Structure 1
Amino acid sequence: MLSPEEVRLLSGGYVRPADQLRALHERGYHRAHRSRRTGRVVVERAHYDAVAAGHTHAPVLGGRPRPRLRPVPP
């Protein structure tokens, strides 16, 4: 997991978790989420590494992968 300071820097310096999460999602960190226990934004280091390396889908660590949405035909 990234440290709270790393999350703040990665999100562009935002302090509020909602702003951090929005900024991270805009930057492609779609697996970033808020912790139910602490309310802080959580980013797995493997996901950070994958997105930073240019991969669109990070490896899934424990749990099921999210279903991919298919485009709706015109």
Structure 2
Amino acid sequence: MSDSVVLDKDEIEALTGYQVSTKQLDVLRRRGFHRAFINRKGLVVLERTHYEAVSRGEVQAPSKAKTANLSFLRTGVA
């Protein structure tokens, strides 16, 4: 393992078993790495500290955010 801030391409590939970024991201999100994303270059980015915290069971996926109740803004016209 490297001392870099983010996991490198080979580490992501070994962790997910995939080379395609979208499949890698899907696997990571299902495993609870909710902070993983695909950057502008099309590579998956996963912070090492987040990876380690989730792996130790210290971080749970965020709950789904509630949406605002804006029904009062609707007019009587359908």
Would you say 1:52 and 2:48 are equivalent positions? no
Q: Which runs of 4+ in 1 moved over 3 A?
A: none
Q: Could you tell me how far apart the structure 2 residues matched to 1:39 and 1:24 are?
A: 15
Count of aligned residue pairs for this structure pair? 61
Q: Which runs of 5+ in 1 are unaligned?
A: 58-65
Structure richer in helix, relative to its length:
2
Query: Which amino acid counterpart does residue 38 of structure 2 have in structure 1?
Result: R
Instruction: Point out the structure with max Rg over C-alpha.
Output: 2
Identity of matched residues, %: 40
Deviation at 1:25, TM superposition (A): 0.2
> Structure 2 length as normaliser, TM-score?
0.69
Q: How does 1:1-74 map to 2 (within 5 A)?
A: 1-11=6-16, 13-36=17-40, 38-57=41-60, 69-70=65-66
Computed over aligned residues only, the root mean square deviation of the Cα atoms, in angstroms, reads 2.1
CA pair 25-67 structure 1, distance change in 2 beyond 3 A: closer
Q: Could you tell me how far apart the structure 2 residues matched to 1:68 and 1:14 are?
A: 27
